[in-house]
Amino acid sequence: MSNPQGPDQPDDVADDATDTAEGEPATEVISTESAQEPERRFTAPSGFDAGSTTRINTPSEPVTEVMETAAAPAVKPVPPQVIPPRGDAPKAVSTKRRSWGWVIALILVIAALVAVAVLGTLLLTRDSEPQASQEDHVRKTIENYDAAIAKGDLATLRGITCGKARDDYVAYNDKVWSDTHARVAAAKRYPVIASIDQVVVNGDHAEANVTTFMAYAPQTRSTRSLDLEFRDDQWKICQAPDS
């Protein structure tokens, strides 16, 4: 079968014709060679490269001056400072100090009450205590007198007696008294106070009833009376019992 397109057309052209004949647009073939642009070269305009290159001198700048800086002084460490509170700032009240204040106040009140109680007791017993105390002093004087008689203590007998009794002891010579007491003590002929039975104090005078016996006859006892006076801040025997 002969080719309808002619003998000079290739098969591809024939195919394209066939497609065209069927009603579809023909495919356009774009050549890649026509898309490449030719290399462009630029040349300087006439007259620019005719002469030599001109060097433009820049103005000279002044030499940079180096300024010497002084070394920074050494910084001393500053200790922390305590800033006192302002005077108008409210002061904190210590609860411990307040509690101690209540304790001290309570102690003072108790001490005042105790002092009042003691003073009241002294005022109530003031009238009875001097009499009882003076009675004790009278008894003590009688005991000292009895001991001085037994020992022959002439100095004590002179200081503890008054009136006629003291005059008798003062009249004795110390040597004579010593010899006399030695003989009396050997014979046991001196009185001994066995007991102080009753003491009555009336101001500066006192009377005491005592039981006595002679040292050589202790089984024979008798009741005697002693008169005392308060002189020179002490009780003194002014009348001794008869032997």
- Which residues are CB-neighbours of 137 under 8 A, at least 6 positions away? 234, 235
The CATH code of the domain at 128-239 is: 3.10.450.50
Q: What is the pTM of this model?
A: 0.47
Site of tokens 């009240």? 93
Q: Are the CB atoms for 196 and 224 separated by under 8 Å?
A: no
Domain ranges of the chain: 128-239
53 pLDDT higher than 80? no
Say what the pLDDT of residue 8 is.
47
Residues facing residue 225 across a β-bridge: 209
Q: Provide, rounded to the nearest whole percent, the portion of the chain with pLDDT above 90.
A: 41
What digits encode the pLDDT tens for the residues 154-210?
999 999 999 998 999 999 999 999 999 999 999 999 999 999 999 999 999 999 999
Say what the pLDDT of residue 243 is.
44
What distance in Å separates the CA atoms of residue 231 and residue 107, rounded to the nearest whole number?
A: 46
Residues facing residue 39 across a β-bridge: none
Say what the pLDDT of residue 70 is.
56
Q: Average pLDDT over the chain, rounded to whole?
A: 75
What distance in Å separates the CA atoms of residue 240 and residue 228, rounded to the nearest whole number?
A: 9
Say what the pLDDT of residue 125 is.
67
What digits encode the pLDDT tens for the residues 71-120?
556 666 666 666 666 655 555 555 556 677 788 888 888 998 899 888 87
Residue 218: burial class (beta carbons within 10 Å; 0-12, 13-18, 19+)? exposed
Say what the pLDDT of residue 102 is.
81
Say what the pLDDT of residue 99 is.
72
Say what the pLDDT of residue 153 is.
95
97 to each of 83, 89, 94, 108, how far by Cα in Å?
A: 25, 20, 5, 17
